[in-house]
Amino acid sequence: RAEQYVNEYRQQEREEIRLRRLAKSSGNFYVPAQPKLALVIRTKGIKKIAPKPRKVLQLMRLLQINNAVFVRLTYATTQMLQIITPYAAWGTPNLKTVKELIYKRGHAKVNKQRIPITDNSVIEQSLGRFGIICVEDLVHEIFTVGPNFKAANNFLWPFKLSNPTGGWSGRKVRHFIEGGDAGNREEFINALVRKMN
């Protein structure tokens, strides 16, 4: 099963490269599909936050500084992310990031308790009915935003990350574009997670 997933990821990557080359050779531009998955990291503490952003952070289960969650990108969630821009950093995680987070920091929510994922049986008990029986299934469901994404994501406890090695870049509250850390940083979220994991 894991082999099948590896082949699927590889095929996806090759297809992307093929389309990009095809567009370049015919003098066109290749516009990749809109990302379906985002990783959101809370960068601010709990003091001095207006009620609306506070509520959105609660809905996203980001109750603590340096907490991280996966979010399916829809029009509604994009609007929610706009509201919490000054208090969170987010972007599009790659496969390596998703894998590393789940393998290293992954905890399951079983009977409202935070249990480390040390064994596939923990996953099978909770998500077996969705056909998710091991960590690779879980990674695949999250990364591809499959039909059981909601159940798989809810099963994962929010990741508790460390402060980034080397610290934040200057003023944390400024937007990423202005040299800060808040807001959407697209694929640069992967570098931040490496420093925080």
pLDDT tens digits, one per residue of 124-145: 888 888 888 889 989 999 999 9
Q: Which two tokens stand for residue 195?
A: 């420093």
pLDDT score at 9: 87
pLDDT score at 179: 85
Q: Which long-range contacts (CB under 8 A, 24 or more apart) does 99-102 make?
A: 99/139, 100/193, 100/197, 101/39, 101/68, 101/159, 101/193, 101/197, 102/135, 102/138, 102/139, 102/142, 102/156
Q: Which residues of the chain have pLDDT under 50?
A: none
pLDDT score at 190: 92
pLDDT score at 58: 93
Q: How far apart are CA 64 and CA 33, in angstroms?
A: 32
User: Which residue stretches of the chain are H helix?
Assistant: 2-25, 51-59, 75-83, 95-105, 120-127, 135-143, 149-155, 189-196
Question: Which residues have CB under 8 Å from 40's CB, separation 6+?
Answer: 60, 62, 68, 69, 70, 71, 81, 84, 88, 89, 90
Beta bridge partners of 182: 175
pLDDT score at 169: 77
pLDDT score at 38: 93
